[in-house]
Amino acid sequence: MTTIRDIAQKAGVSAGTVSRILNEDDTLSVAASTRQRVVQLADELAYNAEKLQTNRKWTKSIAVVTTLSAEQEQVDEYYRKIWRGIYEASEKKGVKVSHIFRLQNLSEPLDVSKFAAVIFVGAIEKYAIHELYLKNPNLVLIDDRLVHVDGVDAVTTDLKEKVFELLNAFWTSGYRDIAFVGGKRESMDLSGHYVSVDDDTRYAAYMSWMQSKHLTPRAVLAGWRTADAVTATNELLNSEEKIDAILVASDPLAVGVLKVLSENEHHIAVASFNDVEIGKYLTPSLTTVHIPAEEIGQTALVQAVERSTNTRNWPIWLVIPSYIVYRDTFVN
């Protein structure tokens, strides 16, 4: 029997993309030709969703709530991988991701009470987590830092530890004038409004480590776009302070950093986060932290199923380890 994975392989897209196309998810940003190809392949391969769901006993309907727009996800490889993990795990587990709520686009108050479980993706205020938990206690958070809320599952990765590991590697290599380029963390409430701005985990860890070594921090938090990183790097280079290494909060920002360094012929060590595909093809190739985004998505789906089936009645706060990929911009 044809599966979503079979169609995805022939169409050259992810299983998550196929699932969202066949479920007529109009929030998915994808070319019309891709939609047509997937639908055509499903017809040619005699894909029967109802029969497949019946055979697999698809009884659970899971909702995903996210702070991101479809456009933001389309250009962010990290979140695309999370979605891929969620959809692939949902097929394996025999559950259906039946609705996506985008907080930025809500036209009416959020109601997730009818779903078996809810996965939340993005930065949200702690009081909003409590509100969501009251609507549906089978709640799993995916976030860049582990938020401990009684009764609520959470899955993330070890960003703080990897910041320390990279900075210690810089230190071992003799670097002392270490700068940071990144952005601020913006949190939403359930009505889709940004209500607070605070420190990103990577920046907070950088500041803590620099203080522990009695070094002077040189951080520019210009924003999360590549263009913001260009501005930030120019600001660092135009200052009179020496810089021999830069820790960057994400690979898209690192692209901007490396562009400026190349144009000015500066030989400065650079390390970043996310391990996006383009990083290995840059010149020089980018040293980066591989964040297990797909595994985070898969794990969140599994946790949601566990909560919805009463497999356990206690929360799990899970950290999936990342690892450093050393390349040309910094060889430890």
Q: What is the mean pLDDT of the chain?
A: 90
Say what the pLDDT of residue 146 is: 63
pLDDT more than 70, % of the chain = 94
Six token digits for residue 152: 């609520």
Q: Give the mean pLDDT of 91-116.
A: 91
How confident is residue 167, by pLDDT bands cut at 50, 70 and 90?
very high
pLDDT at 261 (0 to 100): 96
- The residues facing 246 across adjacent strands are 179, 270
State the pLDDT at residue 56. 42
Angle of the 4-11 helix axis to the 32-44 helix axis, nearest 10: 130
pLDDT of residue 54: 43
pLDDT band at 302 (very low <50, low <70, confident <90, very high): very high
In the block, which residue shows the tokens 């899955």?
155
User: b/e string for 80-111 if b means 16 or more Cβ within 10 A?
Assistant: bbbbbbbbbbbbbbebbbbbbbbbeeeeeebe
State residue 240's pLDDT score: 83
Q: With a cut of 70, say whether residue 144 has pLDDT above it.
A: no
pLDDT by residue (tens digit) across 176-194? 999 999 999 999 999 999 9
Q: What is the pLDDT of residue 132?
A: 93
pLDDT at 36: 78
Q: What count of Cα atoms within 13 Å lies in the side-chain half-sphere of residue 103?
A: 22
Neighbours of 316 (CB within 10 A): 14
- Residues whose CB is less than 8 angstroms from the CB of residue 262 and which lie 6 or more positions away in sequence, other chains included: 283
For residues 132 and 27, the model is more confident at: 132
More confident residue, 23 or 213: 213
Percentage of residues of the chain with pLDDT beyond 90: 67
CA-only gyration radius of the chain, Å:
21
The whole-number average pLDDT for the span 272-285 is: 95
The pTM (predicted TM-score) of the whole model is 0.81
Closest CA to 224 of 299, 123, 151: 123
Model confidence pLDDT, tens digit, residues 106-129: 989 999 999 999 999 999 988 999
Highest mean pLDDT among 27-36, 55-64, 146-155, 204-213: 204-213
Query: Bridge-partner residues for 318, per DSSP?
Result: 155
Q: Above 80 in pLDDT, residue 234?
A: yes
The whole-number average pLDDT for the span 232-239 is: 96
> What pLDDT shows up at residue 165?
98
